[in-house]
Chain A
């Protein structure tokens, strides 16, 4: 039964659930294909235990859905709830990234004038 529609606080971009949802946002995939896709776009190698642990939790929460399959490789797709969850997580990470970039820009501007005179050897 779906339980969660909003991401947990301090969601990290390399958390297995976010990586899996991001991968499935590009289309349905089975376990091995998910693992290779995530390694390709995020450079993160998810162990089989971590991958299927996350798949189990995501399915319990109704964020992904299994698809019918003729062979043992069962593909999964992102559900509507999962898409909303991922969108909220992406918004949160984007907001954090923009805030970080803004503060870094402020810090850079503030530090340049102070560094100048010190390098020139004229203490304040």
Chain B
């Protein structure tokens, strides 16, 4: 290494750049790719453009390796990739879903007159489909349970141990935060809970963030496990069907949430604004807008997964 700091050994650098790529790609091309990087750089530090070229390509290879783009992997891998995309999308959807449940809490008690059937239909549709999606995810997990047990007995536990550990820690932290919050809330007035107490609001946000982390870590566990399982054809078909069901439900639930908002805005805007019954506040609610934006993003990802499953399905039959 020279003293001007611009030239240094590229071994660690090329190894760190290689991490953008999936393990299978690294096993096949890793050594020669590192050799090329070392030849290219000649001891110099890689430019941002050089790093970006590798990052973009590495992420693209990861998507291919996961069966999400291209046809490089088998149809069964593509169906699995599509189903896991739906699962991740649903995990994302759960977060605004829980926020919506909190926002809409006791909505039906806010009416003193006027029709409530439209928001009721929208709310009940959303709640029913959310329940159906939860059952579908549980059924998918149940379908994979025997294979998972075989995987663990065959010595697969160390490969997922770290992820499970973090998921358990995040879940325990969330449970502690939510439990403490519930105890605290029981000693507060409605005004203090909703707007009055800054510390309570901050704690609520922290608990919500912990919940999001817990959901994300469990989704990561599910992805890591499912990608390692030796899934049979019938199991894969069952997972594919359940994934399509969940993926189709998400945009319907998003539409139901939007319909609920719209109908509440016209029939009971005071509920959305938290003002006295019968008042006429603005129906715009930033929190609901955020909920709908995240729901829409999750729905889009879910539909992408559904299309991936459906497009690979016919080839799965042939295979």
Contacts and interface: CB of A to CB of B under 8 A. Distances in A.
Interface of A: 30-32, 35, 47-53, 55-57, 60, 71-74
B53 A31 contact: no
Contact of B50 (A31, A47, A55, A60): A47
Contact of B40 (A32, A55, A56, A74): A32
Nearest to B54: A49
Nearest to B42: A32
A30 B61 contact: no
Interface residues of B, number: 23
Contacts of B52: 47
Contact of B53 (A32, A47, A57, A72): A47
Given A48-B50, A53-B61, A72 B72 contact: no
Of B31, B33, B52, B61, which is in contact with the most chain A CB atoms at under 10 Å from its CB? B33
Given A60-B72, A72-B31, A49 B58 contact: yes
B53 A50 contact: yes
Contacts of A56: 25, 29, 61
Nearest to A35: B40
A42 B238 CA distance: 51
A60 B57 CA distance: 16
A73 B56 contact: no
Given A32-B39, A35-B40, A53-B61, A72 B32 contact: yes
A74 to B, nearest CB: 4
Interface string B30-67: 01111111011000000001101111111011000000
A50 to B, nearest CB: 6
A31 B60 contact: no
- The secondary structure that dominates the A interface is helix
Given A31-B32, A56-B25, 18 more contacts: A31-B33, A32-B35, A35-B40, A47-B49, A47-B54, A48-B33, A48-B36, A48-B37, A48-B40, A48-B54, A51-B36, A52-B36, A52-B57, A56-B29, A60-B72, A72-B31, A72-B35, A74-B31
A49 B40 CA distance: 12
A48 B32 contact: no
A102 to B, nearest CB: 38
Nearest to B59: A49
Contacts of A48: 33, 36-37, 40, 50, 53-54, 57
Contact of A50 (B33, B36, B57): B57
Contacts of B39: 31-32, 73
B62 to A, nearest CB: 12
B36 A30 contact: yes
B49 to A, nearest CB: 7
Contacts of A30: 32, 35-36
Contacts of A51: 36
Contacts of A73: 32, 35-36, 39
B55 A72 contact: no
A53 B72 contact: no
B77 to A, nearest CB: 14
13 contacts: A30-B35, A31-B35, A32-B40, A47-B49, A47-B50, A47-B52, A49-B53, A49-B54, A49-B58, A49-B60, A53-B57, A56-B25, A72-B35
B32 A74 contact: yes
B35 A49 contact: no
A74 B35 CA distance: 9
A73 B52 CA distance: 23
Contacts of A35: 36, 40
**Shortest 10 CB-CB contacts between residues of A and residues of B:** A49-B57, A47-B53, A31-B36, A32-B39, A72-B35, A49-B53, A74-B32, A72-B31, A53-B57, A49-B54
